[in-house]
A = this chain, B = another copy of it.
Amino acid sequence: MKKHIYFFGKDMTEGDRSMKNILGGKGANLAEMTRIGIPVPPGFTISTEVCQEYYQNQNRIPQSLIEEINRNIRKLEELMNRRFGNPEKPLLLSVRSGAARSMPGMMDTVLNLGINPEVVDGLSRLSGNRRFALDVYRRFMQMFGDVVMGIDHELYEKALQKIKDENGYRLDTELTENDLQTLIDRYLKIYQAETHSDFPVDPMEQLLRAIEAVLASWNNPRAVKYRELNDIRGLIGTAVNIQTMVYGNLGESSGTGVAFTRNPATGEDVLYGEYLMNAQGEDVVAGIRTPMPIEELKTNSEMIYNQLQDIRTKLEEHYREMQDLEFTIQEGTLYILQTRDGKRTAYAAVTIAVDMVNQGLISREEALMRIDAKSLNQLLLPVFDESEEKKARVLTTGLPASPGAASGKIMFTAEDAENYILKQKENPAIQPEPVIMVRIETSPEDIGGMAVSSGILTARGGMTSHAAVVARGMGICCIAGAGDVRVDYHAKQMHIGSSILNEGDWISLNGTLGTVYAGRISSRPPELTGAFQKLMEWADEYRRLKIRTNADTPRDTAIAVNFGAEGIGLCRTEHMFFEGERVVSFRRLILVAERVKQLRAEMEKTINASERLKLENKLKVPLAQYNQALAELLPVQRSDFISIFKALKGRPATIRTLDPPLHEFLPKELDGQKEMSHAMDIPLGEIQEMVESLSEANPMLGHRGCRLGITYPEVTAMQVRAIIEAGLEVHAQDIKVNPEIMIPLVGHKQELKLQRDLTEKTIRDICLERKLDRVPFNILIGTMIEVPRAALTANEIAEHADFFSFGTNDLTQMGCGFSRDDAGRFLNDYVKLGIYEYDPFQVLDQDGIGLLVRLAVEKGRKEKPSLKIGICGEHGGEPRSIQFCHRTGLDYVSCSPFRVPVARLAAAQAAIKENVNE
């Protein structure tokens, strides 16, 4: 028969840390700690396979398991010299969930199992503390009712509040033995009323039902949601840890706490944590009482503190990772209840990894592999503009629970926050406004709202409260335990001192300092320094892929170069047309270009010579206007390119010619059309007609990309001229330039050939005008590979291309056949149903679109071995996709400026992985 249970306890430990998959992280580490001599209350772990069986077995515990549980209880009783359910020497147990990957607070826990009125009496005698025994029973009843029986926990809390109110108490600790006895009686009534049955007194019944509750909690909606949000996949279920209870609430020499072997916010190499004396563990985690910093423990009990320090060192040397511990002090004796790799901010992760290399604990490769590349984004969250921050009005300060800086509009519930963000997403025209969620404290139900918030502020809770832990995990700025804040959910208001802030008011949080400001503060990009810089240097040593950036402005270019970008992989010239006065020139161009095109087409069809002459005359005015608009745009484009070339200082710049359909430049709403009519002195009707005539059934598959350049070759020529003239000007200032002209949306080699010919002709024209033999810098001409047909015929296209750049956004849209704008209606279902493992717009679909990429690389390089190949879709900043690019032999990836460090690390990780696999 298969082994379902693994015991842990002095010299009898069956598991170890390698068995996470079947013992869960918690169970495996309890066993491991026991093995290396850390004081752990003994117990046993029911394997995750049982959870799988439970679900396969119509949610029933297999009979054989019950016998195995019984055998292990006996073992435990012997080891502890106590008996489960025996009033004389009662053994009390905790039942905790624990999957192979940590999901804090998501699944169920039941403490103090094995207690009943008789055991209360025995426990009173043994501890000499009847109040304690009654409190244990009361807590157990409440937890069992809530967790196992699903009774609304508010019923218990109301009863507790009521007895406090009746006696005028403020704290639970003021309750007397009699109060507790009354409360127990009231709890019993609640239980009976809600379940129509008596509260179970049989310890074995308590245990089995608690185990079932833990198993069932694996698939509760919030656990499922958590796994979804945190991308946790492939686990078979949770293990169940049954462990001897120890008590931190046995008086002032008892206590409980959590600790990190290093600072999880900064990475600093010190013991870090919080504790509460005379409290049970749940009191700390739930954030209900604000705990003390761990350094205070030195004053409180130096011995325990030193013991913790020793354990810290032992664990770090053993695990070679920063650990997150839970401990309980029972009447002066320290017990470790849990250890696991500590969650940390990305900042801390980087600091710890670099420190551990310096301390000889791990290698550089290990350090690089240990950082979640995606998480580096967090280090690149903007920081507040210092001068503005100095001038801002400080409302209060709280604990710096998760670093970063955020301004946003106040929302008081997760639902409000989610709805607010959702509403904005539905209307892409409006400038998006971030949300700061303000709560008294957060609970697992708030996860959805936290995920969409830019910052979180709580009135209660410490550095390890729910809000703090989750915010750090998500990389969201958080200030916790800001005690001055009084929240009135009903009025949707908060009071801080004399200030009243309403829903929708702006506040700003500096999560690194813990400062809360009134109003909005501008932010600026951060710098790469210290450990982060070191890590990036190591990454650069390992990676083979070059990293470029997608940038359209000198500002973005400078930011990206600062983050290590080695050039621009995508400069979208159309963004340059949207700004200020230019849009007027560009709209004029659109209006007349269409007219010119129509007249030219008419002329082509006209046989009659006098008709042709008439048309030629008709063409004169619009043609002049067309050329005029082009002439207006040329200098502004040129000056844009000049600034960008200067910012790049010789690094290559891939500049894409006009891409979006022309109707995107025209206002869709009446107000905008009226404004345009006024600004351009053109009748409204004419503008509306143009908007109508340019509108498309499927703009994604419409008149855009090089198709524009082919029907309006003058626009391409103007853009090429702007690039070359800018290059010449910058080159004359002794700054190197390295432009790469990129033709978008090519599907057929002839398209590229026509645009290339036009480009080369324009360059020759400029040389003739300026009496140059040739342009004195290198110019590449290449294309996006973003239409499936282009990938399929990459060999033919390579004939006319110096480089390829994969536009994987469009390649995904066309290759998978779904538009990003519309896929929302089904793509979530698709990911949920496992059709696509990840949203293919987030993570490159390697099995499908990846085939097109591989095919194009292969065919392109076969035709032209020197072909330079990169990627400039958003996948270029996504670590899994970057690994794919590395494996596929691309030369570079290009991503948004803030993703450049992510890409540097991911590229290094890809190279290291490859070496490992070789």
Residue A851, interface by CB 8 Å = yes
Residue among B701, B786, B852 making CB contact with A698, cutoff 8 Å: B701
* A244 CB to nearest chain B CB (Å): 32
How big is the A interface, by class? 35 or more
State A793–B822 Cα separation when bound (angstroms): 23
B605 touches A822 (CB 8 A): no
Residue A578, interface by CB 8 Å = no
Pick from A605, A697, A698 the residue with the most CB of B within 10 Å: A698
State A792–B851 Cα separation when bound (angstroms): 7
Residue A814, interface by CB 8 Å = yes
Chain B residue at smallest Cβ distance from A447: B607
Residue A519, interface by CB 8 Å = no
* A291 CB to nearest chain B CB (Å): 28
Set of chain B residues within 8 Å of A816, measured between Cβ atoms = 747-748, 787-789
Set of chain B residues within 8 Å of A849, measured between Cβ atoms = 789
* A435 CB to nearest chain B CB (Å): 18
Chain B residue at smallest Cβ distance from A608: B445
Residue A83, interface by CB 8 Å = no
> Which residues 785-825 of A sit at the B interface, judged by CB distance below 8 A?
786-789, 792-793, 796, 810, 813-819, 821-823, 825
Residue A834, interface by CB 8 Å = yes
Residue A666, interface by CB 8 Å = no
A819 touches B696 (CB 8 A): yes
B814 touches A605 (CB 8 A): no
B833 touches A815 (CB 8 A): no
User: What is the 8 Å Cβ interface bit string for chain A, positions 826-853, against chain B (1 contact, 0 not)?
Assistant: 1001100111100000000101110110
State A830–B788 Cα separation when bound (angstroms): 18
Set of chain B residues within 8 Å of A848, measured between Cβ atoms = 747-748, 789, 792-793
B607 touches A702 (CB 8 A): no
Residue A606, interface by CB 8 Å = yes
Set of chain B residues within 8 Å of A818, measured between Cβ atoms = 701-702, 707, 747
Residue A711, interface by CB 8 Å = yes
User: What is the 8 Å Cβ interface bit string for chain A, positions 495-539, against chain B (1 contact, 0 not)?
Assistant: 000000000000000000000000000000000000000000000
User: What is the 8 Å Cβ interface bit string for chain A, positions 692-711, against chain B (1 contact, 0 not)?
Assistant: 00001111111100010011
B814 touches A221 (CB 8 A): no
* A467 CB to nearest chain B CB (Å): 18
Set of chain B residues within 8 Å of A834, measured between Cβ atoms = 750
Residue A609, interface by CB 8 Å = yes
Residue A159, interface by CB 8 Å = no
Residue among B748, B833, B851 making CB contact with A754, cutoff 8 Å: B833
Set of chain B residues within 8 Å of A789, measured between Cβ atoms = 815-817, 845, 848-849
B793 touches A833 (CB 8 A): no
* A419 CB to nearest chain B CB (Å): 13
Residue A225, interface by CB 8 Å = yes
User: What is the 8 Å Cβ interface bit string for chain A, positions 231-252, against chain B (1 contact, 0 not)?
Assistant: 0000000000000000000000
Set of chain B residues within 8 Å of A747, measured between Cβ atoms = 816-818, 848
B751 touches A835 (CB 8 A): yes
User: What is the 8 Å Cβ interface bit string for chain A, positions 215-227, against chain B (1 contact, 0 not)?
Assistant: 0000011100100
User: What is the 8 Å Cβ interface bit string for chain A, positions 316-341, against chain B (1 contact, 0 not)?
Assistant: 00000000000000000000000000
Set of chain B residues within 8 Å of A707, measured between Cβ atoms = 818, 826
Residue among B699, B703, B823, B833 making CB contact with A826, cutoff 8 Å: B703
State A711–B825 Cα separation when bound (angstroms): 9
Q: A699-B697, A815-B814, A822-B703 are in contact. Are A836 and B748 (CB under 8 A)?
A: yes
User: What is the 8 Å Cβ interface bit string for chain A, positions 744-772, against chain B (1 contact, 0 not)?
Assistant: 01011011001000000000000000000
Residue A150, interface by CB 8 Å = yes
Residue A681, interface by CB 8 Å = no
A821 touches B754 (CB 8 A): no
Residue A604, interface by CB 8 Å = yes
State A833–B448 Cα separation when bound (angstroms): 54
State A609–B750 Cα separation when bound (angstroms): 62
Chain B residue at smallest Cβ distance from A789: B848
Set of chain B residues within 8 Å of A826, measured between Cβ atoms = 703, 707, 710-711
Set of chain B residues within 8 Å of A448, measured between Cβ atoms = 605
A819 touches B697 (CB 8 A): yes
State A448–B602 Cα separation when bound (angstroms): 13
Residue among B608, B819, B829 making CB contact with A711, cutoff 8 Å: B829
A787 touches B817 (CB 8 A): yes
- Can you offer 5 A-B residue contacts whose CB atoms are under 8 A? A696-B822, A747-B818, A786-B817, A787-B817, A810-B817
